[in-house]
Amino acid sequence: MFLFFAFAGTQVANIGSQNNSANSTTGAQTGFSPTVLLYIALVFAFSLMVNVWIFFRISGGLFNPAVIFAMFMVKSMSLTRAFLLLAAQISGSIFASFLVSVLFPTQLNVRTTLSSDTSLARGVFIEAILTAELVFTIFMLAKEKHKATFIAPVGIGLALFIAELVGVFYTGGSLNPARCFGPCVVTGIFDNKH
């Protein structure tokens, strides 16, 4: 549900850029618009916040393979559980992308790509820093139990919001390998930088 609402909101935000042959959210491809940037950042943040809150007690509210990998590395999760969650996240991303592509009458326009001025190395570092900030927030607010753990989804959503504000223009603001993979499968477009 997280990626469905995030992709659907991004699709709506990018309606004005349907002539974009790259099917990308990156600002250089769609033309920079602070309104679109804010809309995309908010829809991803609110979608993550609400869905983490809904699924926290069921699956831990885990929607990102980078978080799964980090939790496995610190031995908070077994290899079997990590593999099953990873498979579910990748499958969910493909299915969410497919649903948005068939439900909305416009061409799917939610892929992440590097902007024309962003080198591969720069893009990797931008994504690594933004993803590290999100993973660190999740560890500090949700994994480490404390009195305010019940409101962790708010902080996690805000962390994604600020990361999206920074990253969408330059890298598409992925922070999530599953988020990138699904739209590429559905559109059939895989950049050589992925």
Q: What percent of the chain has pLDDT over 70?
A: 91
pLDDT digits (tens, 9 = 90+) for 54-76: 998 888 889 999 999 999 999 99
Residue 21 has pLDDT above 60, yes or no: no
Mapping DSSP to helix (H, G, I), strand (E, B) and coil, where does residue 111 land? strand
- Domains of the chain as residue ranges with CATH: 2-187 (1.20.1080.10)
CA–CA separation, 129 and 123 (whole Å) = 10
Q: Which residues, at least 6 apart from 72, have a Cβ–Cβ distance to it below 8 Å?
A: 78, 79, 82
Residue 28 has pLDDT above 60, yes or no: no
pLDDT digits (tens, 9 = 90+) for 44-57: 999 999 999 999 88
Residue 29 has pLDDT above 60, yes or no: no
pLDDT of residue 61: 85
CA–CA separation, 35 and 52 (whole Å) = 25
